[in-house]
Structure 1
Amino acid sequence: MAMAKTRKWVKPATPPNSEINVTPLVDVVLVLLIIFMVVTPLLEKDIEVRIPETEDVPVEQMPQDNNQLIVKLDANGTYSINTDPVTPEEYVNKLKRMLAAKTKEDRIVFFVADDKANYGKLVAAFDGAKQAGAFVLGMATEDIPAAPAGDPGAAPAGDPAPAPAP
């Protein structure tokens, strides 16, 4: 005798639920809200930068000091002190000898850097000047020209002085 196979269907006690479960959605939205509340104040913070003030000094008031120390940094990273090329190894010692003859308040070093110069080398020049004993470091925004040779008040060769601007 063959046994007849019968299929049994189990009828669920409740019909299928087709509604969206909003509890996980609310949890995710609340977590995102907390994250945005924490991050938003951080986005409003600005970085404060102190920018040096510039002033236009009339030519007749500009000091005509022939003993200025001007360090130039070329685009290829070459240092020069008052138009005299210096190797990075000699830089601190030569600057130290030049600053030793001055009083502490007169130990002022001006820096002129090419726009394409390496920023790290400029910072190294600042550090070297401080190691050499510089009291004040100045940054020139324009190249400081040497006085023309024909002027009676011209600086000696190698010591550039600010020339009157036309």
Structure 2
Amino acid sequence: MAFSTGGGGGGPMAEINVTPLVDVMLVLLIIFMITAPLMAHKVQVKLPEATLEEKVEGQGVPITLAITEDGSIYWNDDPVLRAILESRLAVEAQKQPQPQVNIRADRTTKYKVIAEVVKTAKDVGIAKIGFVTTPER
């Protein structure tokens, strides 16, 4: 509160009460400190799209192993037996640069079957194994 000093009557005061002004400024400062970092992540970037057939720099065409619900294995959409799978993976493991192996498994495929395929690939020396999934929408 401001009190007038001086005697006379009800004339206008020449002093400004700065307490409410400081309170408002501090509230605005806090609001801007909280919202400023949130606005920094609004940049939209369109990333390039790639397909599995494209060659990655320094690597060959990736190998896609599809595993169905009944345990059937497909090498780049061609059916393959488990015994032949191991020998084909061993041949690919010897190549320089070594291609990446991408595993696409059906949602209802038993994990035991997938784990056996991953173990087979690791045992023959495949270094890069990835899993292909559907992004959430």
Q: TM-score range by the shorter chain?
A: 0.5 to 0.7
Deviation at 1:100, TM superposition (A): 1.9
Contact 1:107 1:133 in 2 (8 A): no
User: Is the alpha carbon distance of 1:61 and 1:109 closer, same or farther for their aligned partners in structure 2, counting shifts above 3 Å?
Assistant: closer
> Residue 84 of structure 1 is aligned with which of 78, 83, 86?
78
> Residue 118 of structure 1 is aligned with which of 110, 117, 122?
110
Q: What are structure 2's unaligned runs of at least 5 residues?
A: 1-45
What count of residue pairs does the alignment treat as equivalent? 85
Secondary structure in 2 matching 1:59: coil
AA partner of residue 49 (structure 2): V
Task: Describe how 1:58-77 pairs up with structure 2 within 5 A.
Answer: 58-59=48-49, 64-65=54-55, 67-77=61-71
AA partner of residue 115 (structure 1): R
Residue 129 (structure 1) aligns with: 121
Contact 1:79 1:88 in 2 (8 A): yes
CA distance in 2, matches of 1:82, 1:110: 10
TM normalised by structure 2 equals 0.54
CA distance in 1, matches of 2:65, 2:51: 23
Q: Deviations over 1:39-80 (max 9, x none)?
A: xxxxxxxxxxxxxxxxx9531698812721111101110011
TM normalised by structure 1 equals 0.45
Deviation at 1:123, TM superposition (A): 0.2
Secondary structure in 2 matching 1:67: coil
- State the superposition RMSD in angstroms: 2.5
Deviation at 1:132, TM superposition (A): 2.0
CA distance in 2, matches of 1:62, 1:87: 23
Moved segments of 4+, more than 4 Å: 60-63
Deviation at 1:102, TM superposition (A): 3.0
* Larger-gyration structure (1/2): 1
CA distance in 1, matches of 2:52, 2:81: 31
Residue 22 (structure 2) aligns with: none
Deviation at 1:121, TM superposition (A): 0.4
AA partner of residue 58 (structure 1): P
Q: What are structure 1's unaligned runs of at least 5 residues?
A: 1-55, 143-166
